[in-house]
Amino acid sequence: MTKEAIIKEFEAIAGADNVMTGETDRHAYSYDAAVLDSVMPALVVRPTTSEALGAVTKLCNDNGLPLTVRGAGTNLSGGTIPHPGGVVVLTNGLNRILEINEADMYAVVEPGVVTAQFAAEVAKRGLFYPPDPGSQAVSTLGGNVAENAGGLRGLKYGVTKDYVMGMEFWDVNGELIKSGSRTVKCVTGYNLAGLMVASEGTLGVFDKIILKLIPPAKAAKSMMAVFPSMKAASETVASIIANKIVPATLEMMDNFTIRTVENFRGAGLPVDAAALLLIEVDGHPGQVADEAAVVERICKENGATELHVAKDAAERDAVWQARRDALPALANLKPTCVLEDATVPRSKIPAMIEALEEIAKKLDLTIGTFGHAGDGNLHPTILTDKRDKAEWERVEKGIDMIFDKALSMGGTLSGEHGIGLAKSKYLAQETSKGTLAYARRMKSVLDPKGILNPDKIVGAE
């Protein structure tokens, strides 16, 4: 088919208003939140019905057109950067919450539903959807599932994959594939829904997602503990878990981040502190009181110099505001901000922090570190200016070193941001050559023409 004929076909499926071919429109979908070069797609299409989504997928396959699905485009690993000359399929026209079932505690959603809006709808019905990625105000549930997004509550409540009960998705032939169920237990067939989680749009196009909901905790208590060294803070983290307490949230900030946040907000953070832990325990009121007391004791035993327990909602908000400010405050310092998510086993946090400091010193880079200490998911944030060629080369080297270090400690390339384009080159290093070959074989069977988000995760052959 000629280009014009294909465009006509897309228009017939999705409506002329939902097919964008102009230069400016295409340019606006050439990037995501990753610090990578942008790539212009040939076409952007925005299906608004399930059938149209399936038909668009089939049309792309029939014509061998690379297809990249995009929700809000907040991806930090380049998973939503299109293939040159490919098609971007927007899901924000598929944004209906189809069902919230209070009796059976699940919900059925279309992929374009915004995470925070969904969580709010669920909360209105007295239920709880825990995954809370930092971008939840705009990120979509389809994107969360495709990336297996995490968040601040990962330690106790798990991440997106722990809430996916089932899924319907389109294969490249335009067949609707169903997996999982509205029931808690379901072992019908392969766990294809599980396979779709973190597949980053390389194996199918999500149509509907069934998500597990849980009852919210009845009470919560937040506190901020100040430490004279990162070592003391990370030992505290290990000790809290060793005492069989799993806080809902357990976050850490290094001195550089503390000072930056304080400059940004002026909320009275201790700028001399080497490290801060922000801790929240939740559950039944009695349990919360008990656990908070134990956490307080452990913090003091590990040398916390100060401990603030939030007395009310306003103080609790202030604790979490400090954490929410970490990224914006760092981002304000320099034009380019490379936010990594190298993750190590909890016990290795002190060693990882030390390694990050060494890398920063060795390469003369500015790295602020904060993150989800409770689950070992750190966010070393490299501050730079991409236009400074010499420094950028050192940044790239630094990133390599960070992943080398994390992997050597038994860690992983990505706690929650995904592999995408940015980290596909390290994949075999964490897994094995055989694993990569297995994954590529699987993809080649499910997607023989290689149209589904090419180059992501398993890289270019």
Partner 1 sequence: MADIHKLAQMFKELDDQLVGCMRCGMCQAVCPIFKLSGKETDVTRGKLALLDGLASEMLTDPEGVNEKLNRCLLCGTCQANCPSGVSVMDIFLKARAIMTGYFGLSPAKKAIFRGLLKNPKLFNALTEMGAKFQGIFTKKVDDMLGSSCARFNAPIIADRHFNTLASKPFHKIVPELDTPAGASGLRVAFYVGCVIDKIYPQVGEAILKVLKHHGVGVYLPAGQACCGIPVLSSGDTDTFDTLVGMNVDRLKDGEFDYLVTGCASCTSTIKELWPHMYKGDSSRTYDIGVLARKTMDISQFLVDILKVEPKELAGGKSVTYHDPCHLKNSLGITAQPRTLIKAAGCDFKEMTDAGTCCGCGGSFNIAHYELSKEIGSRKADNIIASKASVAATSCPACMLQITDMLSQKGADMSVKHVIELYADSL
Chain residues that interact with partner 1, rule: CB under 8 A? 20, 22-25, 27-33, 35, 38, 46, 72-74, 90, 92-93, 116, 135, 137-138, 327-328, 331-332, 335-337, 385-387
CB 129 within 8 A of CB 163: yes
Kindly state the smallest distance separating residue 24's Cβ from partner 1, in Å.
Answer: 4
Alpha-carbon distance of 19 to 258, in angstroms, equals 46
Nearer to partner 1, 142 or 174 (CB): 142
Residue with tokens 């592999």: 419
Kindly state the smallest distance separating residue 250's Cβ from partner 1, in Å.
Answer: 23
Nearer to partner 1, 37 or 272 (CB): 37
Alpha-carbon distance of 297 to 226, in angstroms, equals 13
Nearer to partner 1, 74 or 179 (CB): 74
Instruction: State both tokens at 239.
Output: 């000790």
Nearer to partner 1, 32 or 291 (CB): 32
Kindly state the smallest distance separating residue 20's Cβ from partner 1, in Å.
Answer: 8
Q: Which amino acid is at 108?
A: V
Kindly state the smallest distance separating residue 392's Cβ from partner 1, in Å.
Answer: 13
Alpha-carbon distance of 25 to 19, in angstroms, equals 10
Nearer to partner 1, 140 or 255 (CB): 140
Nearer to partner 1, 261 or 439 (CB): 261
CA-to-CA separations, 159 to 178, 396, 420, in angstroms, rounded: 22, 29, 18
Nearer to partner 1, 23 or 461 (CB): 23
User: How many residues are present in the chain?
Assistant: 461
Kindly state the smallest distance separating residue 398's Cβ from partner 1, in Å.
Answer: 18
Nearer to partner 1, 116 or 195 (CB): 116
Kindly state the smallest distance separating residue 296's Cβ from partner 1, in Å.
Answer: 32
Query: Radius of gyration over alpha carbons of the chain, in Å?
Result: 23
Give the H or E element holding residue 330: helix 326-333
Kindly state the smallest distance separating residue 365's Cβ from partner 1, in Å.
Answer: 17
Kindly state the smallest distance separating residue 112's Cβ from partner 1, in Å.
Answer: 9
Nearer to partner 1, 28 or 195 (CB): 28
Residue with tokens 């860690």: 411
**Cα 354 off chain centre by:** 25
Kindly state the smallest distance separating residue 264's Cβ from partner 1, in Å.
Answer: 9
Kindly state the smallest distance separating residue 43's Cβ from partner 1, in Å.
Answer: 14
Alpha-carbon distance of 152 to 167, in angstroms, equals 25
DSSP string, 331-367: HHHSSEEEE---B--GGGHHHHHHHHHHHHHHHT-EE
Phi, psi of 281 (to 5 degrees): -110, 145
Alpha-carbon distance of 3 to 397, in angstroms, equals 41
Alpha-carbon distance of 211 to 167, in angstroms, equals 9
Nearer to partner 1, 36 or 246 (CB): 36
CB 115 within 8 A of CB 131: yes
Percentage helix, strand, coil for the chain under 3-state DSSP, each rounded to 5: 40, 20, 40
Kindly state the smallest distance separating residue 68's Cβ from partner 1, in Å.
Answer: 14
* Count of C-beta atoms within a 10 Å radius of residue 240: 26
Pairing relation of β-strands 19-20 and 67-70? unpaired
Nearer to partner 1, 151 or 166 (CB): 151
Residue 280 burial by Cβ neighbours in a 10 Å radius (0-12, 13-18, 19+): buried
